[in-house]
Structure 1
Amino acid sequence: MDTGIVGGSGYGGGELLRLLAGHPTLKVRTVAAGSRAGEDLSTVFPHLNTSGTLAPSTPEALEGCDLVFLATPHAVSMALAAPLRDAGATVVDLSGAFRLPAEVFERWYGMDHTAPELTPAVYGLPELNRDAIAGAGLVAGPGCYPTATLLGLKPLAGLVDPASLTIVGMSGSSGAGRGLRDNLHVSHATANTAAYGAPTHRHTPEIEQQWSVLTGADHPVSFTPHLVPQVRGMVVTLNAQLLDATAPEAVPAAFHDAYDTEPFVTVVDGWPESTHVVGANTAHVGAAVDPRTGRVTVSCAIDNLTKGAAGQAVQAANVALGLPETAGLPTMAVYP
């Protein structure tokens, strides 16, 4: 199946290229980029041991592609999604352009939405939304923080007070993309940890939207992300008050019921660690109840570039196209 990647010079695009190189069905036909169009892939990503010239990010350059991944800024995704769909391609978008209703997007992202008729698209977290993804023509890939958060939250729906939720996220610097910023310089980021974006981080409404789907009611959440001194990987830890009717033993049972048959989610004893998921499309989840306070703590570790972005996009594409969900996706991490 002929496949296109737009945003092929960024971290998400590079990860897509790495994963699709081993996919049995999806074959990369066109790799497009913005400012780096015309460059050779061997220069942009020497680690991939591949070559080819980056095309411009236009619908014409992607003609003939059955599937297109948009690993692009929000505005570029808005401009390309409709013409690609009109040309018959299945589109999986890694940006935030189609995760939210247009008016919510505009409020949180501070920019006009130029394709409101496409919002919200089918939410591309298979563990929550597999049936809706199947056959979808436009899939909105979740953000990395919402992915880890929602995998931790799914088993808790109905067991906790949904208004009591607090979330703390920790991510490596690759989550900010390939662009340069002062706080990402080695001299600053090395041995430094800092909160950022709270209380208005753009992933907050995405978490709230899906938490409301899980609980059946709208509830605001408190979310505080942190930048930690590592390149890849993230851990999200959340805490909530158990309902009076929830027995402590119901919590581990709920996690095993939710995930023991999932190919990419593992319920671990103890607490997940980010180094155990690097390079894999896996999520490790751990939970514990504090009988003293009646609260539950859940932690989830993912690779922000794999299960949090490109790997999840491939997983969603597999589901959308009726392919084996695990095709082309590693479950073994790179360690150490």
Structure 2
Amino acid sequence: MRVGIVGASGYGGAELVRLVAAHPALDLHVAAGSGSAGERLDTAAPQLAGLPGADRALAPAEPDALAGCDLVFMATPHAVSAELGPVLANGGATVVDLSGAFRLEASEFARWYGLDHPAPARTPAPYGLPELFRTDLKGAPLVAGPGCYPTAALLALAPLTGLVDPGSVVITGMSGTSGAGKGLRADLHASHAMGNVAAYGAPGHRHTPEIERWWAAYARQRGVADAAGLAEPVPLSFTPHLVPMPRGQLCTVSATLAEGADAAAVTDAVGAFAAAEPFVVARQAWPATTHVAGGNGAHVHAAVDSRTGRVTAACALDNLLKGAAGQALQAANVALGLDEGAGLSPAGVHP
């Protein structure tokens, strides 16, 4: 199956090149870029040197350059994805977008991203979090890859559906600097970021409505939305933090237990959720980013504080893999009817 990767020289795109090279059913047909078009792929992304085809020149990020691709991954800014994705999908390719272009309805997208959507009929696209929306992805022509923070937050939240008061949810996210992409930015300079931790983007981070929307959608899909208090998206608090490491992500969720819920119910729910998912592991200790780096796994754990009647749940993952490229490949596998785990491993690289 012929694959195109747009944004192949960026962090997420280069990870996709590496993953596709190891996939039994996929073959890299086109590696494309915008500012890097014409440059050799292994020059723009030296870590790919030695992979078959890494010595090719990057094609321009244009529909004609991607003609003939059966599957296209777009590791591109949301404005580029919003324009290019529908064109490629209309041309017959299965498209998996890693940006925020198709995660929200067009009106929500305009509010949170400050851009009128050029293809409102395509929004929201099926949400590429297989653990929650596997059925919706099968045969989907255009898939909206979740944000890295929402992935970790939703994998921690999902087992708590119906066990907590949705209006009490507070989420703290921490991400390595690669989550901001490959572009230069003052706060990402080594002298600024190393040895420093800082909150940012609160209280209006654009991943907030994404978490709210898709948690409610998951509850509706399970038929428990009314009972769980999620008939409509419920506002929650989300604060992201930049931490001094290249990759890795951790989200902690704190919420008040619903009436009748207890620690045993929480433990059972987290264990059952993880047992049904090939890339989710329920840990008996708090998850650590160093244990998931380099893999497509997500480690989860939850504990109840009997003193306050609140539960804390955590999820750790590699923001460039389960939070981006690995998840995109996982979703593509489902959309195309392939083995969901093909080309992926839940195991990390440690130390």
Aligned counterpart for 2:290 among listed residues 250, 254, 275: 275
> What are the ranges of 5 or more consecutive residues in structure 1 without an aligned counterpart?
none
Aligned equivalents of 2:274 and 2:314: distance in 1? 14
User: Which of 149, 153, 156 is 2:157 aligned to?
Assistant: 153
Q: Percent identity?
A: 61
Shift of residue 75 of structure 1?
1.1
Who is 1:62 aligned against?
66
> 1: CA distance between counterparts of 2:258 and 2:79?
42
* Partner of residue 315, structure 1: 330
Displacement of 1:85 in angstroms is: 1.2
Deviation (angstroms), 1:261: 2.4
Matches within 5 A, 1:83-98: 83-98=87-102
Matched with 1:198 is 202
For residues 220 and 233 of structure 1, what CA distance do their matches in structure 2 show?
A: 26
User: Does structure 1 conserve the Cα–Cα contact (< 8 Å) formed by 2:298 and 2:346?
Assistant: no
SS at match of 1:318: helix
The corresponding residue for 1:3 is 3
Residue ranges of structure 2 left out of the alignment (5+ in a row): 220-229
Match of 2:251 in 1: 236
Letter of the 2:335 counterpart: A
Q: 2:133 aligns with which of 117, 129, 152?
A: 129
> Secondary structure of 2:261's match?
coil
Instruction: Tell me the equivalent position of 1:286.
Output: 301
Q: Distance in 2 between matches of 1:165 and 1:82?
A: 35
Q: Which residue of 2 aligns with 1:120?
A: 124
Give 1:3-42 correspondences, 5 Å limit.
Answer: 3-42=3-42
Q: Secondary structure at the match of 2:322?
A: helix
Tell me, in whole angstroms, the C-alpha distance in 2 between the residues paired with 1:45 and 1:296. Answer: 42
Distance 1:316 1:67 in 2: 12
Query: 1:243-282 maps to which residues of 2 (within 5 A)?
Result: 243-282=258-297
Under a length normalisation based on structure 2, what TM-score does the superposition of the two structures give? 0.95
Q: Which of 90, 101, 108 is the equivalent residue of 2:105? A: 101
2:305 alignment partner AA? D
Is 2:166 aligned against 1:162?
yes
Alignment size in residue pairs: 336
SS of 2:235's partner is coil
CA distance in 2, matches of 1:302, 1:315: 15
Deviation digits for residues 49-108 of structure 1 (CA, Å, limit 9, x no counterpart) = 231110000000001000000100111111111221121100000000000001101101
Cα deviation digits, residues 21-47 of structure 1 (max 9, x gap): 100001110000001100001101111
Aligned to 1:295: 310
Letter in structure 1 aligned against 2:132: L
Query: Which of 224, 228, 236 is residue 221 of structure 1 equivalent to?
Result: 236
In structure 2, distance between residues paired with 1:28 and 1:293: 53
